[in-house]
């Protein structure tokens, strides 16, 4: 199926980017400072699309392929900075880390940054967030959490951050030694960072709970 969005003004469904290509695992963000702006990313076959609206989701631009799409491997995630920059994250090809795409001109041009790279682990389900609160002491910090599976069977929930708009990233830290999957990152009004995930313990299904942790220093450290 293709991506559709319900227009909350009129109630009708709007097809975001009509295509014969399937679009799945959709992630959407809204610009806190300009709420008429929205950004979506979705998996397309072995690639990843991006779709942008500046009129409250009535019309959309974008495409089913990010620039240099041969390096893109799915698991979409999106964010806005406080000054309206667009961010899209994706797993790097062959799942050896993640890439961050940044646009300062509403998607006309994109710059690609390497958020994290690994050769010893299998990487999955990265999610980004940007602290877009104008009064936050960590305004425009970018945060990412993901899951790594090692060749020895060890599994960890990992996290890193960027304080310069994606140009550089901190070394990753471990949030959970254990099978956590589907990490979700959000920021609070005081600059706090919150991360939660499905906790599978030894790896059996269903999950045995929700993992949760928070940071009060802009992602430098986290509570147990």
Give the global pTM: 0.93
Sign of the dihedral through C-alpha 108, 186, 213, 217: positive
Q: Which of 2-11, 146-155, 159-168 has the lowest mean pLDDT?
A: 2-11
Q: Which residues contact 87 (CB under 8 A, 6 or more apart)?
A: 78, 79, 80, 81, 100, 101, 102, 128, 130, 142, 166
Question: CA 220, CA 110: separation in Å to the nearest integer?
Answer: 28
Cβ–Cβ under 8 Å, residues 158 and 195:
no
Give the chain's mean pLDDT.
Answer: 92
Q: What is the DSSP letter of 172?
A: P
Residue 95: which pLDDT band, with cuts at 50, 70 and 90? confident
pLDDT score, position 122: 83
Looking at residues 44-62, what average pLDDT do you find? 93
Helices (H), 53-176: none
């Amino acid at each position: 199926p293709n991506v559709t969005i319900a227009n909350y003004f009129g109630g009708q469904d709007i097809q975001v980017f009509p295509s014969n290509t399937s679009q799945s695992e959709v992630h959407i963000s809204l610009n806190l400072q300009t709420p008429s702006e929205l950004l979506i990313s979705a998996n397309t076959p072995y690639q990843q699309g991006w779709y942008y609206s500046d009129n409250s989701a009535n019309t959309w631009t974008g495409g089913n392929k990010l620039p240099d799409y041969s390096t893109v491997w799915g698991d979409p995630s999106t964010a806005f900075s406080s000054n309206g920059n667009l961010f899209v994250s994706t797993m790097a090809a062959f799942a050896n880390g993640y890439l961050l795409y940044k646009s300062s001109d509403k998607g006309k041009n994109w710059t690609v940054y390497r958020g994290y790279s690994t050769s010893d682990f299998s990487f999955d389900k990265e999610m980004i967030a940007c602290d877009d609160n104008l009064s936050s002491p960590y305004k425009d910090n970018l945060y990412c959490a993901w899951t790594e599976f090692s060749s020895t069977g060890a599994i960890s929930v990992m996290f890193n951050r960027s304080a310069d708009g994606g140009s550089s990233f901190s070394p990753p830290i471990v949030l959970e030694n254990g099978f956590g999957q589907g990490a979700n990152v959000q920021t609070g009004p005081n600059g706090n960072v919150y991360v939660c995930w499905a906790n599978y313990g030894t790896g059996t299904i269903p999950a045995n709970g929700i993992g949760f942790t928070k940071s009060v220093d802009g992602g430098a450290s986290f509570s147990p």
